[in-house]
Amino acid sequence: MKALVIAIVAFTFPVYAQQAVLLVRHAELQGAAMAEPKHLPLSEAGEARAERLAAMLKDASIGAIYVTDFVRTQKTAEPLARAIGKEPTVLPKGDPKELVARLRANHARETVLLVGHTDTLPGLLGALGHPADIKIEAPDYGNLFVVVPRPEDAPAFMRLRY
């Protein structure tokens, strides 16, 4: 599957800003009883998933990593960021169209990883041009969405599992 992701990322059109945008939900959480949701850490399974993500994407020429101001998104991206020497950009949850505009303005011709949440990824996919609504169930942590812009057509889209 690693080779498939690299091949998809490498297939680009120079007319568009991004080569590809990769989107994942944060990995599994440890306990849901803490009072402050922003500070929920990853579980052991979540840490293992974050390591798998890093192993899978370390050779995918990621130019930028974006995470939310929630510990779980930051910890999901941390192994990859460390492996490729990129500091993630931390942003609060916000308007997906603004983030997509920022990606296109600041990361021309780069592959970008976004680590989000069940309530942010569908809006981001829509803002990137995916025509259908995407639903991510609460217990589902293993999606890797790949969006490759194409000139004069809807972007190429893949939903993979990791």
Question: Tens digit of pLDDT for each residue in 22-67?
Answer: 999 999 998 765 558 899 999 999 999 999 999 999 999 999 999 9
Maximum CA pair distance of the chain? 48
Say yes or no to pLDDT of 17 above 60: no
Say yes or no to pLDDT of 12 above 50: no
Q: Provide CB contacts within 8 A for 117, sequence distance 6+.
A: 25, 26, 68, 70, 73, 93
Say yes or no to pLDDT of 14 above 60: no
What does the alpha-carbon distance between residue 149 and residue 12 come to, in Å, rounded to a whole number?
8
| pLDDT at residue 43, rounded to an integer | 96
Contacts 24+ apart (CB under 8 A), 152-157: 154/129, 154/130, 155/128, 155/129, 155/130, 156/8, 156/11, 157/125, 157/130
Verdict on whether the full-model pTM lies above 0.85? yes
Q: What does the domain layout of the chain look like in residue ranges?
A: 2-161
Percent of the chain at pLDDT exceeding 70: 86
| pLDDT at residue 158, rounded to an integer | 96
User: Which fold is adopted by the domain 2-161?
Assistant: Rossmann fold (3.40.50)
Say yes or no to pLDDT of 130 above 70: yes
Instruction: Tell me if 147 sits within 8 A of 125, measured CB to CB.
Output: yes
Q: Binning pLDDT at 50, 70 and 90, where does residue 132 land?
A: confident
Lowest mean pLDDT among 8-12, 37-41, 62-66, 128-132: 8-12
Question: Tens digit of pLDDT for each residue in 80-104?
Answer: 999 999 999 999 999 999 999 999 8
